Amino acid sequence: MEERRTRGDFVRRRVRRFVGSHWTVLALGLLILIQIAINWLWLSTNVVVLGWDRPRHLIESLVYNDLLKQADFRSLFRAITYSGYYPPLFHLSVVGFYRLFGPSMDVAAAVNFVHLIVLLISSYGIGREIGGRGVGILAAFITSSLPMVFAMSRYTYIEFALTAMVTLSIWLLLLSRGFTSKRYSLLFGLSVGLGLLTKWTFSLFVFPALTIVLLRAGSLSGLRKGVRSFSLEKRWLAVSVGVGLILTLSWYLPNVQRVSELSLNSLLVPASWFLLGGMIYFTKEASERGGNLAGALFVAAVVAGSWYLTRIDFVDHAFLIAWGRPERHTWAFEYYWDRLVSEHFSLPYMILLIAAGVGLLVLRGKALAKSAYRRGAWRSDLFLLAVWIVVPYLVFSFRPSSRHSRFLTPILPAAAVIMAYGLSKVRLHAARMLAIAAVVLFGSLQCLALSFDGLGWVRHAAVVELPAVGQVDFLAHNVQNQLPSSGPTDRGFWIVPAVLEYVATHGEGAEPVELGLLINTQQLNEQHFQYIIYTDYQGQIRTRELALNLPNQPVYPQLNEVGYLLLMSDHPAHRIHPDSLRIVEIFLNDPPPEFQEAFRLIQSYPLPDGRVAYLYERRGTLAAAGSGKGPSLLAGAHMLDSRAGPGAGSVADLGPMCGEQRSVQECDRRPWKWRTGA
């Protein structure tokens, strides 16, 4: 008995010792598992993918998947150089998950589980570097509980992967100790290359911090001195040049035809040869600060250059979208501030961030006027975090042509570390523990309330009427804070599979059936249709975008070229061309005889918000534009009654079809979403 008790005490001591030594690893692992479980539950409930860019990225991932069906140098080169706008890393990572689990929307979104692991480990690492293990764990928790972070981790936007790569790069930059560590310097270079392959805006978040590290470490002056005293090791230089040439030719020779189609074409070989040779030389020779920096930069250039050199033409398009449309220029400071409060953080978290930032300054208020403090602040890692936040905010707000709240997502880990470090500086132990407990409780509650439809009572209780202020919502509550299946994501909106199934089943002829889309909402737009056509109906159905009128062609003459037409009552005007909207209004409210003769209403789909989508089949030919009848359609336009249905006489032979005799919920095509093959 005594021996058993002694053995039990020994085991308990070993367990306590292990937990005491590894509690941060256990806590971080538990946090990651919980977040992945919550995201999996969210994805398993969600049906409706909102927006335009998310389904567009899904379609892109399928293109990459097709390009890589036969894995060799040619297919890989074509995949890497396929896009002239987005770097390929995010879509290639999705393809990796497709190969493991099969193509589907959920599998594509699940690639963010990997990025989530990288993000939380990196957030912990930065917090630990600045304030110790406790600050690291708290920083990882706050990062995971920021509304924009856990929201974006469920979507197929590139910004979540970008956030993970930015955070990893900043962590490795800190670990490089001003490029005195060869290992972490080279790893930093690799992370920079991969970050740039994720999205070009990576540079706005990392390069300012990199510049400060170089300046305060004297790396630039050291580099100048190193250049003067630099002596080549001729034998290793020859090896580097030879190996670099072999690798370069192995990459480009099988792809001569594709190279000839790219902007730099013949210049790609010498440029890549130089970068590869330099990388090989400096990765071996790197030991001093200047050599480590050169090695890191060459590694980054080689990895990122695999796309940037080949698709240098992306610059024109990227600049056009970002700042190249003067008619859309606007200051975005107020816009981004509003989104940071209401969408990225929530009011309590924003108050905590401001309090932490001010508190960290006040702690050394007496030394603020001293030059020594200013020099110390310049060298503080907290200064890097501030630059990480402020520079992108200023750049994105400075009269851009395009603004989206998700653009600022990569600054959130920096804010989380500041919040965690500020909490760790509360002097009274009891007050500090109480504040940390309150943050953990609020963060957990907010994450759960914005992740599960059934917690509406929490969301309702968070909206409070305050004197002299009015109604205040203490939880995040904006466009990107989406529940899995409520409001805009109600599965009743997901009529796309039912529409395509009907068209594919009833369409006639050997040619692909053409579906005209006079509809363009966040739940129903051409991207949604194209994704499912790509996976389920490739070669059977084509879509024709009529809502935006992008080719600047009138809608009416194109109606004779489609077999089916889908339109919707009460369409949001900002997402449809005015001429297209007038056509919709006429067809639904006062359809002329020629339209009723040419098109027959065969399906109607009531939507959860009260609107109705109508599917028409063409059975005749409309009068040609300019005949006198076509222009009369535009002349008779009038405002659409949101409750109006199809005009009299336009409904014929409606049987027990989806959206009529059966509810939209009964027609839900969830099994498709979980399909494991294309």
Copy the structure tokens of residue 446: 């907010």
Least confident of 296-300, 304-308, 402-406, 420-424: 402-406
**In this structure, what is the dihedral angle of CA atoms 650, 652, 658, 659, given to the nearest 10 degrees?**
40
Q: For strand 541-545 and strand 599-606, is the pairing parallel, antiparallel, or unpaired?
A: unpaired
Would you give the distance in Å from CA 261 to the centre of its chain?
30
pLDDT at residue 8 is higher than 70 = no
pLDDT at 63 over 90: yes
Q: Count CB-CB contacts under 10 A for residue 10.
A: 10
User: Hey, which residues does 605 pair with through a beta bridge?
Assistant: 613
pTM flag (> 0.75): yes
Average predicted confidence (pLDDT) for the chain: 85
pLDDT digits (tens, 9 = 90+) for 133-185: 999 999 999 999 999 999 999 999 999 999 999 999 999 999 999 898 999 99
pLDDT at 9: 58
DSSP alpha helix (H) spans, 46-181? 53-67, 73-80, 89-101, 105-110, 112-131, 133-145, 147-152, 159-175
| Between 69 and 660, residue with greater pLDDT | 69
Three-state DSSP class for 606? strand
Distance, in Å, from the CA atom of 257 to the CA atom of 240, rounded to the nearest integer, reads 27
- Looking at the predicted structure, is the pLDDT value of residue 419 above 90? yes
Give the Cα separation of 248 and 409 in Å (integer).
36
Number of H helices, E strands in the chain: 31, 7
In whole angstroms, what separates CA 118 from the centre of its chain?
15
At 366-393, the pLDDT tens digits run 555 555 555 556 678 888 999 999 999 9
- Residue 220 pLDDT > 80, yes or no? no
Beta strands in 474-583 (DSSP E): 513-518, 541-545, 564-568
pLDDT above 60: residue 1: no
Q: How many CA atoms lie within 13 A of 301 on its CB side?
A: 18
Q: What is the CA radius of gyration of the chain?
A: 29
- pLDDT band of 664, cuts 50, 70, 90: very low
| More confident: 513 or 549 | 513
- Please write the tens of the pLDDT for every residue from 584-640: 888 888 888 888 889 999 999 999 999 999 999 998 888 754 444 455 554 443 333
The pLDDT value given to residue 676: 30
DSSP code for 622: P
More confident call, 653 vs 343:
343
Q: What is the pLDDT of residue 7?
A: 59
585 or 459, which is more confident: 459
Does residue 325 register a pLDDT over 60? yes
Distances (CA, A) of 376 to 127, 153, 218, 275: 19, 36, 15, 37
Whole-number percent of the chain with pLDDT over 70 = 83
- Residue 399 predicted with pLDDT over 70: yes
pLDDT in tens, 77-93: 999 999 989 999 999 99
pLDDT band at 20 (very low <50, low <70, confident <90, very high): low
Cα–Cα dist 358/440, whole Å: 21
What confidence tier does 650 reach under pLDDT thresholds 50, 70, 90? very low
pLDDT at 643: 32
Which is it for strands 541-545 and 470-473: parallel, antiparallel or unpaired?
A: unpaired
3-state SS, residue 499:
helix
One-letter amino acid for residue 584 of the chain? V
User: Does the pLDDT value for residue 237 go beyond 80?
Assistant: yes
Q: Average pLDDT in the 400-422 region?
A: 94
With CA atoms as reference, report the closest residue to 179 among 299, 269, 347, 41: 299
pLDDT, mean of residues 547-552 = 72
Question: Is-contact 306 80, C-beta < 8 A?
Answer: yes
Instruction: Please say whether the beta carbons of 135 and 123 come within 8 A.
Output: no
pLDDT category, 327, cuts 50, 70, 90? confident
